[in-house]
Amino acid sequence: MIEDGRTARQLFEALRTAPARRRFGFGRRAALVNIDLQCAYTQPAHYPTAYESDPAQIAHVNTLAELCRGRGFPVVWTHVAYLASGEDCGVWGTRSDGPDALQNIKEGSPRAALDPRCDRRAGDVLINKRMASAFFETNLRSLLQFHRIDTLVVTGGSTSGCVRATVVDGLSCGFRVIVPQEAVADRHETPHYANLYDMAVKYADVLPVAEVLAGLTAMPGD
């Protein structure tokens, strides 16, 4: 194991300056997958489970969504919400059972609702996922195949949890994966940047939002 004393943020910034590998790049058709931008995770003033890395995160997501709709690319929003019993949270919900525990984010509750700042439109897709990855036991993969998607742009939170899980599964399913840096968030700086670093090295192109917008605009779309 290499030990050089740099923080996770410093490691990520150094990687951005001198990438270790070539990019996966943008393909022909993209989908925007926004992970769990729901009140339980986006409103730190109201919920102890929430976090914020960039105050403009949701504004960036809305800009990406508007561009994707204009190109005819699918826009997908995921959220976690469980039955009154919490049983569909499975073993994941056995570690705690307080009022803010995962399995107590109930269907129809304020914590399960998308943040009102999210500009979700009628033609967008809403997926209720129950585990970390947006691919696990959902129809996301078949939806992407129907739309002939080869590139995923993944936003939301948390960087070290559901975003990373979705990114890894996306790559495993054969998609090019793009992560707009300012459009993902986590509770603490170290796991946020450690996972940006790890995804950039292995699983995705981690790029500034401006580069992602340019990349989406330049895609053939056919």
In sequence order, the 6+-apart residues with CB closer than 8 A to the CB of 102 are 80, 82, 89, 92, 93, 96
Q: In this predicted structure, what is the pLDDT of residue 20?
A: 83
118 an active-site residue? no
Residue ranges of the domains in the chain? 8-218
Q: In this predicted structure, what is the pLDDT of residue 24?
A: 97
Tell me the CATH architecture of domain 8-218. 3-Layer(aba) Sandwich (3.40)
Instruction: Pick the catalytic residue from 68, 89, 118, 162.
Output: 162
User: Per residue in 80-111, is it b (16+ CB within 10 Å) or e — as a string?
Assistant: bbbeeebebbeeebeeeeeeeebbbbeeeeeb
pTM, entire model: 0.97
Q: In this predicted structure, what is the pLDDT of residue 99?
A: 87
Q: In this predicted structure, what is the pLDDT of residue 2?
A: 85
In whole angstroms, what is the distance from residue 35 CA to residue 58 CA?
A: 11
Q: Can you list the residues of the chain whose pLDDT is less than 70?
A: none
At position 98, the amino acid (one-letter code) is G
Q: In this predicted structure, what is the pLDDT of residue 137?
A: 97
